[in-house]
Structure 1
Amino acid sequence: MPERQVTEVEGHRLVLSHLDKVLWPDTGWTKGEALYYYARVAPAMLPHLRGRPATFLRFPSGVGEAGFFAKNPPPGLPDWVHTLTVPSHEGPKDRVTVDDLATLMTVANGYALELHVPQWSAATGPGHHDRLVIDLDPGPGTDLTDCCRVALLIRDHLAEDGLTALPKTSGSKGLHLYAALRPAPAEEVVGYAKRLAERLARTHPDLVVSRMAKALRRGRVFVDWSQNATAKTTAAPYTLRATPVPGVSTPLTWREVEHCTDPEEFGFTPDAVLARVESDGDLLADLTTHPAPLPDRRD
């Protein structure tokens, strides 16, 4: 394969480089394979990225070496790539919004193997959120099967409050649960998520912990409500993960969650995810089309 390959994507000229470079040394998976995956999964992935200021985890030397988070638009970014000005501790900053296939391919060509986005978009502004997310992180002595048990509890709690939970793997050790919201003040979304986590910790103390101290997590699943903070980002649906074997943050069915008995069941490869999308479509499609009001629950 040539060192550089020129292609046209949505009317934009892209120069893709080093396509034979191995980025996952344990499997021999290359940059070209990563770009091919993103091109194929883009129709399902882009609705979950569009209009959201992205943070990238870049691995120019491959996942065997240290990667780094990148928030600022990289040098030489084409002028047709959309950006969004967001608040930060250092003042307003520009962030890339991955709104189309050409942008997705551009950032992936720059070794942005993982894409992370917040729970708000350009349409809502940072002060209001249109997603609730609960990050289930297994502590020592627990695994994904325990996360599934907690996910079912959260699903039922959210249903009582009129919210529909949608699950996906983190692509690493845990699970993410989303619920689509009508735009609600950020501090109210954070407060609701925190109270939910604390309620579960009270009613299921042997299974759930809501406090961040790592010493408390042994034998329990940490229900991380803090991912709803405006400044936080979560691995986007369908993003690759920089695990030794290429992982994907993969949407799930509730039947899969209910019947999970082995963490390996959720170790989806990129090829498996593409087959799932082709067969079932985007299992998180309702996240962009069926928002509900944030419950006014204070317990």
Structure 2
Amino acid sequence: MPDQLVKVGEQTLKLTNMEKVLYPEAGFTKAQVIDYYARIAPVLLPHLAGRPVTLRRYPNGVDGQSFFEKNVARHAPEWVRTERLPTPGSSKGNEFLDFVLIEDLATLAWVANLAALELHVPQWRIGDDPDLLVFDLDPGPPATVVECCQVALWLREELAEGGYDAWPKTSGSKGMQLYVPVEPGELDTWEYSRGLAERLARAYPRQVVATMAKAQRGGKVFIDWSQNRPAKTTIAPYSLRARSQPTVSTPVTWQEVEECEHVEDLTFTADEVRARVEDMGDLLDYR
């Protein structure tokens, strides 16, 4: 398939190597990646708006090497919006980087054409304090997302006692996340999440761990509260993941969480997520 010049909104961009297979086991091509992101854009873009995006690119597909890209690519079109932000403690010694903001379909298609399969964002919007509290539930084998669901239900109870609503989504990989909308500046999200994670680890020591040491995670669910540090990012809702199949970080209902008995119950591919959105809309519409 030859390269294509396409008009997206008011912008023109070149799409390249459309026939390249990025998910070999599924035969899922770059053209299908771009198509997925274009079709899911109406529910994805609101979750990216105002948030600097870290891209995880897989130029040779999910079986090849990948790299995280925070700084905008040198060949980016001039219409791609960027924001220069401080990056203290950067491993490359950069004090500032120019992050991409994905707020329109043209920019989303452009990053998809870069084989940026995964889109990662912080819990804050530019110029503001965090508006999300996030708990990343990471199962240590042989635990799976099934065990994460039980921990998510415990977290929901604790959060409700504090007056907060929680919204679940899968990670698209092994675990899941809970999103808790908060007013910017309302609370110290890092301290609050750490305290709640440690409290649950004490209450359920056989099922939950709140420490970073991987040696302690076997068969338990690690509640990663560190996702609430300002420099940390979490996989965006509706982002693809670089797994053997084109799975997606998918918003789910609490009923689905309560009824989950098998990993397959909360595993969704790109086509399945598109169908879910057509049927149920954005299940993470807490705005």
TM-score normalised by length of structure 1:
0.92
User: What is the match of residue 91 of structure 2?
Assistant: none
Q: Counterparts of 2:82 and 2:178 in 1: how far apart (Å)?
A: 27
Specify every segment of 5 or more residues in structure 1 that has no aligned partner in the other structure, as ranges: 290-299
Q: After TM superposition, list the pairs within 5 Å mapping 1:210-289 onto structure 2.
A: 210-286=210-286, 289=287
CA RMSD of superposed structures (Å) = 1.0
Distance, in Å, in 2 between the alignment partners of 1:41 and 1:140 is 32
- Measure how far apart 1:219 and its partner are: 1.8
Letter in 1 for 2:178: L
Structure 1 residue aligned with 2:119: 115
2-structure distance, mates of 1:249, 1:184: 27
Matched, 1:160 2:184: no
Distance in 2, matches of 1:259 and 1:167, equals 13
Q: Which runs of 4+ in 1 moved over 3 A?
A: none
Matched-pair identity in %: 52
Aligned pair 1:144/2:145, yes or no? yes
Q: Distance in 2 between matches of 1:184 and 1:87?
A: 20
Q: Distance in 1 between matches of 2:52 and 2:189?
A: 19
TM-score, normalised on structure 2?
A: 0.96
Matched, 1:41 2:40: yes
Helix, strand or coil: the match of 1:202? helix
What is the CA-CA distance between 1:141 and the residue it aligns to?
A: 2.1
What displacement does 1:123 show? 4.4
Specify the alignment match of 1:171 in structure 2.
Answer: 172
- Secondary structure of the residue aligned to 1:133 is strand
What SS does the corresponding residue of 1:247 show, helix, strand or coil? coil
Q: How many residues align?
A: 282
Secondary structure at 2:131's aligned position in 1? strand
Cα deviations across residues 219-240 of structure 1 (Å, max 9, x unaligned)? 2100000001111000000000
Counting only pairs closer than 5 Å after superposition, residues 66-77 of structure 1 correspond to structure 2 as 66-77=65-76
Report the equivalent of 1:13.
Answer: 12
Shift of residue 140, structure 1, vs aligned partner: 2.0
Greater mean deviation of Cα atoms: 101-110 or 177-186: 177-186
Are residues 123 and 279 of structure 1, via their aligned partners in 2, closer, same or farther at CA, if it must alter by over 3 Å?
farther
Q: Which residue of 2 aligns with 1:132?
A: 133
Tell me the distance in 2 between the aligned counterparts of 1:185 and 1:145. Answer: 32
Q: CA deviation at 1:185?
A: 7.1
Letter in 2 for 1:142: A
Task: Within 5 Å, give how 1:23-62 maps onto structure 2.
Answer: 23-62=22-61
Which position in structure 2 is the counterpart of 1:293?
none
Unmatched 5+ stretches in structure 2: 89-93
How far the C-alpha of 1:92 sits from its partner, in A, is: 2.1
Provide Cα deviations, 1:148-202, integer angstroms capped at 9, x if missing partner. Answer: 000000011111111110000000000010011110278x110000000000001
SS at match of 1:168: strand
d(CA) in 2 for partners of 1:200, 1:231? 25
